[in-house]
């Protein structure tokens, strides 16, 4: 249903009389697909381009190159009325529920806005639909006449989800949608998302840095590093047989409640920080932090190779 091909997103940064603008390469040559009803997760450290990718998919950011197809239609080629026509099929839930809701509007008006803008309902019918949406996400009629500041973080995110599903989108982009919530509230929101997906058949593009959450909710996973996908595949294979050294390092850094298992972990620790996208390294961007790096890693960007147990990996030297 969603097909992203050769996607690149750049930003010009720096200004002033004595400072020339530089090109920040936030996303480089990303390729992936998301099937109808599937949850596809994108994971990686901060600065890996995850949120920029999410914004490009919903056309909040214009790509420098590549394409984003939804049901065969290239979103990057649309603008104006043509883009507005497909917007109901593509909605987004943002990370911060304290910033994504208009503090001056009642909850009723926040949830009703997409329905009114796209002419889906009005009058008494609109009021009934808003109440139905709120009940779907675990809220009720007495919440309609309140303002966002009267709600907890979890309740605000429920409102944001109600607004996002109001138009019955085919794809819901969730950008760190549970990262600002406490653990118990995270679980409630994740269960809600799974229930809604079963009911409406939506596909999810799930952006996250939390591997525990991703393992729980995703069907497939893409691991990103400095704007590139370095590995992708079925969730079970990614977690049980990671092929890229970066994926292995990320999984090794996840806390394990069993001290014996934690001590038995032989994976070399991940050192250093992610390089600047303003000055990316040559060859494989991970080579400066990789304990298995070889001279070829510094010289050539690896291409993706298909794996027999599912998915693909871009790595010159994969540890056994």
- What is the 8-class DSSP label of residue 303? P
Q: For residue 175, what are the CA distances in angstroms to 49, 53, 96, 254?
A: 12, 10, 9, 21
Give me the residue spans of the domains in the chain: 236-320
Question: Residue 181: how many CA atoms within 13 Å on its side-chain side?
Answer: 24
Write the DSSP string, 238-297: HHHS--SHHHHHHHHTS--S-HHHHHH--SPPP-S-PPPTTSPPSSSTTTTT-TT--HHH
pLDDT at position 22 is 86
Low-confidence ranges of the chain (pLDDT < 50): none
Number of H helices, E strands in the chain: 11, 12
The per-residue pLDDT for range 107-161, each reduced to its tens digit, is 999 999 999 999 888 899 999 999 999 999 999 999 999 999 999 999 999 999 9
Q: Which residues contact 285 (CB under 8 A, 6 or more apart)?
A: 225, 226, 227, 228, 275
Burial class (CB in 10 A: 0-12, 13-18, 19+), 242: buried
* pTM > 0.85: yes or no: yes
Query: Measured in whole angstroms, how far is the alpha carbon of residue 126 from the centre of its chain?
Result: 31
Write the DSSP string, 10-26: EEEE--SSS---EEEEE
| Three-class DSSP category at 78 | coil
């Amino acid at each position: 249903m969603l097909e992203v091909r050769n996607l690149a997103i750049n930003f010009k940064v720096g200004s002033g009389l004595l400072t020339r603008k530089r090109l920040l390469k936030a996303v480089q040559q990303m390729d992936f697909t998301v099937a109808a009803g599937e949850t596809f997760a994108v994971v990686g450290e901060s600065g890996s381009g995850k949120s920029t990718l999410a914004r490009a998919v919903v056309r909040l950011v214009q790509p420098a190159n590549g394409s984003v197809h939804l049901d065969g239609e290239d979103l990057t080629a649309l603008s104006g009325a043509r883009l507005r026509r497909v917007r109901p099929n593509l909605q987004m839930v943002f990370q911060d529920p304290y910033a994504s809701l208009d503090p001056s509007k009642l909850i009723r008006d926040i949830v009703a806005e997409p329905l009114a803008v796209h002419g889906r309902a009005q009058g008494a019918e609109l009021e009934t639909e808003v109440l139905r949406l709120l009940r779907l996400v675990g809220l009720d009629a007495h919440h309609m006449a309140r303002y966002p500041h009267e709600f907890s973080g979890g309740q605000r995110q429920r409102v944001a989800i109600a607004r996002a599903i109001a138009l019955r989108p085919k794809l819901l982009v969730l950008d760190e949608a549970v990262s600002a919530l406490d653990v118990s509230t995270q679980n409630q929101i994740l269960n809600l998302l799974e229930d809604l997906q079963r009911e409406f058949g939506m596909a999810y593009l799930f952006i996250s840095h939390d591997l525990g959450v991703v393992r729980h909710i995703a069907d497939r996973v893409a691991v990103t590093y400095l704007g590139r996908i370095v590995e992708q595949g079925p969730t079970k294979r990614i977690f049980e047989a990671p092929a890229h050294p970066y994926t292995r390092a990320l999984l090794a850094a996840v806390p394990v409640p069993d001290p014996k298992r934690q001590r038995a972990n032989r994976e070399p620790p991940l050192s250093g920080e992610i390089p600047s996208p303003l000055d990316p390294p040559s060859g494989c961007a991970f080579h400066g932090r990789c304990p298995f790096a070889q001279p070829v890693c510094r010289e050539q960007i690896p291409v993706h190779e298909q794996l027999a147990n599912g998915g693909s990996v871009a790595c010159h030297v994969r540890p056994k």
